[in-house]
Structure 1
Amino acid sequence: MKLKFLFAVIISLFVFSSINSQDLPPQLSSAKGYLLGPGDEITVKVQGEPDFDFITTVNEDGKFLVLDKILIAKCKTEAELKSEVTRILEKYLKSPQLSLRVTDRKSKPPATVYGEVRTPSQVMLMRKVTLMEVISFSGGPTEDAGGNVRIFRTQPPICTEDYEDSNWKPDTTDPSDVPSKMFTLSNVKLGKDSSNPVIYPGDVILVEKASPVYVTGEVANPQAVLIKEGGLSLFDAISKLGGPKREAKTKDIKVYRRKINSDSPETISANYDLIRTGKQKDIMLEPYDVVVVDKAKDSIGKVLLDLAIGTGKSAISSVTNGIGYRVMY
């Protein structure tokens, strides 16, 4: 997925869906505090010395200027920077009392959670947070969620020691592509480290919707059925829709499946009766399969019977049409 396209999707999603940015509860905040990065705005006020007040922005190298000194702000807390600024001002002021606050946090954009979650959200990450926590914080998966979650890493994380950049590479050599990884919801729920990664500022988490298959023809309630996590078999799909009708051609059900680089679908035949009795292996359906349950042809006996009844009716009709009638009182 292209970077520009991704951001267009996200922006339109949040503008038109009126999704508000949310903060994690205070008790989930990091004890160490916010770690600064490029783009953050710092406001310093010195008690009784307004001439020494200033507002500055951390540059791309993670630094900012205090009088004639350059300080490194990247990956430091407000408290750490306050101590460093105080030491510089002590050269000009006696026991300076000052406040230092980050007044605009731009180095760590919120993580975005959207797709099949109950409360799509933008989440400010104030501590180390995992994928399972972020999904839970967004209300958990909806009923239409499939089995996959994809994480798009829109920017390299900063101020982290355990991040391995080599594990997050784009699928192509196109520089505009965004690195991404796919995880399954079942493994995420188990909390396995390999399937429950740390989420970083700027990450975009997409809980994908289950893909449909389409069942048509002689079933009780023909319609689309979603393939949930764990898969969907032919027998289960038909059963979910009330089963086949009495007129259904259950011995020869067709499954039409898309073929890569081909306009003609692959055709798979299945005997529903044999599958039901365990004599034939069930077919696992794939996204966008089309299942067609045709109407069974009449047996030769029924055809002859219908023909005889139809001929008899025709004969009687032709005879009676040629005879006049009288009324007896």
Structure 2
Amino acid sequence: MKVRISLFFALFVGLFQIGFGQEVLVSSDGQRGYLLGPGDIVTGKVLNEPQFDFVATIDEDGKFQVPFFDKSVFAKCRTENELRGDVTQLLAKYLRTPQVSVTVTERKSRPPASIYGEVKTPQTVDLRRKATLLELLSFAGGVTEDAGGTVQVFRTQPLMCSEDGEEDPLATNSEDRLEVPSRIYSLSNIRQGRAEANPVIYPGDVIVVLKAAPIYIMGEVIQPVGMRLPEGGLSLAQALAMVGGVRREAKTKDVKIYRLKANSKDRETISVNYDNIKKGQQKDVMLEPYDIIEVDKSKKSIQKIIFETITGVGRQAAASMTGSITNRILY
């Protein structure tokens, strides 16, 4: 799925990173270690030879310069140990067995991954090792009660140091640089541990846990309210039970569901016999995002109207008689 990035989106991500604390996932044993990229700053020191010490920034081509040498050292997607070997080899032209150390003093080549939306602890994470979507959702404290059933992952920049044969599942063939590739994953599939729903998250990725879509219940119910569809879905009977049920005057044989038509703002009307659902004579109706459920008031029967009229007249007569009779006390 592709969306067009806007200035608002970029500013929002920037403000998000400022507003929330940044966490760090460090490399675990057995992994290659941090791979350098453009913008990183490295510091080199040579034992007892301070004139050869240097501080260099990796340029856009992934290279940096060592003092007194015209030849650049290629650093992109390489580790500190690999760079130390190259620098040692260069200095060996002037020094006998040089003792060299090369360290990354500032890591600026990769922006942090951002996690926001319906998670308990929105934050940014500085990724220094591979991490999966499930791991980062857990890192953010899990999802909230208002979370829907989907998570959207945006890839804001191409992979810089992909392994041999590794393909980006979010890659796009579009030549439009303003398009940000994204993909939607099911929370249910993520929890079940399905590999296709648990991708590797890379620096700069933006993870958005989408909020559940709302539905609205109105009319002759105990508590008219708007609520959000849970991940597993919600039926009409369940929704009416959650609002305390229907009132005595409710027209339960003709409950209306106003549902959006596909790719349109217009709605279709679905009539449901709630009495038959309760009796098991009709299949319960599963609600969809933005449904409006209306429980109308039933019309009074002729017998009920006559009864209320008679009892109403009788009450009025009794009230008028009570008001006109003088109250006296006999001693």
TM-score, normalised to structure 1's length?
0.89
2:51 counterpart of 1:51? yes
Cα contact 1:157–1:163 (8 A) shared by 2: no
Moved more, 97-106 or 5-14: 5-14
Specify the alignment match of 1:19 in structure 2: 20
Q: 1:298 and 1:119 mapped to 2: Cα distance? A: 53
Identity of aligned residues (%): 50
Q: CA RMSD in A?
A: 2.4
Distance apart, 1:148 and its partner CA: 0.3
2:36 counterpart of 1:36? yes
Deviation track 1:95-134 (CA, whole Å, cap 9, x = no partner) reads: 2222211112122221111111222221122222211111
Query: Structure 1 residues 292, 31: CA separation in 2 closer, same or farther (over 3 Å shift)?
Result: same
Amino acid across the alignment from 1:163: E
| Residue pairs, 1:153-302, within 5 angstroms | 153-161=155-163, 162-165=165-168, 167-169=170-172, 175-259=177-261, 262=264, 264-302=266-304
Cα contact 1:29–1:126 (8 A) shared by 2: no
Q: 1:30 and 1:215 mapped to 2: Cα distance? A: 55
Cα contact 2:170–2:181 (8 A) shared by 1: no
Q: 1:262 and 1:185 mapped to 2: Cα distance? A: 27
Query: Structure 1 residues 129, 30: CA separation in 2 closer, same or farther (over 3 Å shift)?
Result: farther
Q: Which residue among 290, 302, 305 is the counterpart of 1:303?
A: 305
Q: 1:326 and 1:46 mapped to 2: Cα distance? A: 116
Q: Which residue among 59, 64, 69 is the counterpart of 2:71?
A: 69
Q: 2:276 and 2:268 mapped to 1: Cα distance? A: 22
Q: SS of the residue aligned with 2:65?
A: strand
Query: Structure 1 residues 9, 127: CA separation in 2 closer, same or farther (over 3 Å shift)?
Result: same
Specify the alignment match of 1:5 in structure 2: 8
Moved more, 35-44 or 2-11: 2-11
| Residue pairs, 1:115-130, within 5 angstroms | 115-130=117-132
Cα contact 2:17–2:124 (8 A) shared by 1: no
Cα contact 1:233–1:285 (8 A) shared by 2: yes
Q: SS of the residue aligned with 1:179?
A: strand
Query: Structure 1 residues 119, 249: CA separation in 2 closer, same or farther (over 3 Å shift)?
Result: same
Q: 1:143 and 1:312 mapped to 2: Cα distance? A: 54
Deviation track 1:210-269 (CA, whole Å, cap 9, x = no partner) reads: 111111222222212211112111111111122212222211111122335655422221
Amino acid across the alignment from 2:31: A
Deviation track 1:139-173 (CA, whole Å, cap 9, x = no partner) reads: 11222211101100001112112432474338x87
Amino acid across the alignment from 1:81: L
Cα contact 1:168–1:181 (8 A) shared by 2: no
Amino acid across the alignment from 1:65: Q
Number of residue equivalences: 324
Q: 1:6 and 1:30 mapped to 2: Cα distance? A: 37
Q: 1:116 and 1:20 mapped to 2: Cα distance? A: 17
Moved more, 53-62 or 193-202: 53-62
Cα contact 1:119–1:139 (8 A) shared by 2: yes
Amino acid across the alignment from 1:60: E
Query: Structure 1 residues 169, 282: CA separation in 2 closer, same or farther (over 3 Å shift)?
Result: farther
Distance apart, 1:88 and its partner CA: 0.2
Query: Structure 1 residues 245, 90: CA separation in 2 closer, same or farther (over 3 Å shift)?
Result: same
Structure 2 unaligned residues grouped into runs of 5+: none
Distance apart, 1:20 and its partner CA: 0.6
Q: 1:326 and 1:133 mapped to 2: Cα distance? A: 83
Distance apart, 1:290 and its partner CA: 1.4
Specify the alignment match of 1:104 in structure 2: 106
Query: Structure 1 residues 204, 320: CA separation in 2 closer, same or farther (over 3 Å shift)?
Result: closer
Q: SS of the residue aligned with 1:178?
A: strand
Query: Structure 1 residues 302, 83: CA separation in 2 closer, same or farther (over 3 Å shift)?
Result: same
